[in-house]
């Protein structure tokens, strides 16, 4: 019996198509971190569009149809704050989370002023990230 069919019979629908899941945008230039976050977000119920650079996200016509944006601060050719500003210029209204290995009061103040709902420090605490996503989007588990 196919897994999806068994799950439907057992009352679980873990095989729901990704297109029915809310879309989340992720920009992280470290391939290992990007993949790890992508898997975490999928497990939380999101359809994840992951990018190594902000320019790739901004070139994607599907990026405007997302419920949340998660970005690393330092990227190779830009930063997460700049990418959010460009999304906002295009009219994207969703919540955003900035992640950084270089935290400071100034960075947090700047990020919040530019529209980020939360700034999280690397190394990331999984429960802090998933909790923030659940609060901001209503999707996933509040831990």
Between CA 99 and CA 20 the distance in angstroms is 27
Q: Which domains, and CATH codes, for the chain? A: 20-137 (3.40.50.2300)
132/143 Cα distance (integer angstroms): 9
Angle between helices 105-113 and 80-89 (to 10 degrees): 10
Chain segment 49-106, per-residue pLDDT in tens: 999 999 999 999 999 999 999 999 999 999 999 999 999 999 999 999 999 999 999 9
Strands 23-27 and 118-121: unpaired
- pLDDT for 118-143, tens place per residue? 999 999 998 999 999 999 999 876 55
Q: What integer pLDDT is reported at residue 10 of this predicted model?
A: 35
Q: Is the peptide bond before 123 cis (omega within 30 degrees of 0)?
A: yes
Determine which of 18-32, 42-56, 97-111 has the lowest per-residue pLDDT on average: 18-32
Q: What is the pLDDT of residue 12?
A: 42
Evaluate if residue 44 carries a pLDDT over 80.
yes
pLDDT at 19: 54
pTM of the model: 0.84
């Amino acid at each position: 019996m196919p897994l999806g069919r068994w799950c439907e019979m057992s009352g679980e629908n873990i095989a729901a198509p990704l297109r029915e899941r809310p879309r989340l945008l992720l920009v992280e230039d470290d391939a290992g971190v990007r993949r790890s976050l992508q898997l975490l977000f999928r497990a939380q119920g999101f359809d994840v569009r992951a990018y190594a650079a902000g320019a790739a996200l901004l070139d994607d016509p599907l990026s405007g149809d997302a419920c949340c944006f998660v970005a690393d601060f330092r990227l190779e050719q830009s930063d997460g704050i700049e990418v959010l500003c460009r999304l906002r210029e295009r009219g994207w209204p969703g919540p955003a989370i900035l992640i950084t290995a270089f935290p400071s009061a100034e960075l947090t103040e700047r990020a919040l002023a530019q529209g980020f709902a939360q700034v999280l420090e690397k190394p990331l605490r999984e429960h802090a990230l998933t909790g923030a996503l659940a609060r901001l989007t209503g999707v996933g588990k509040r831990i």
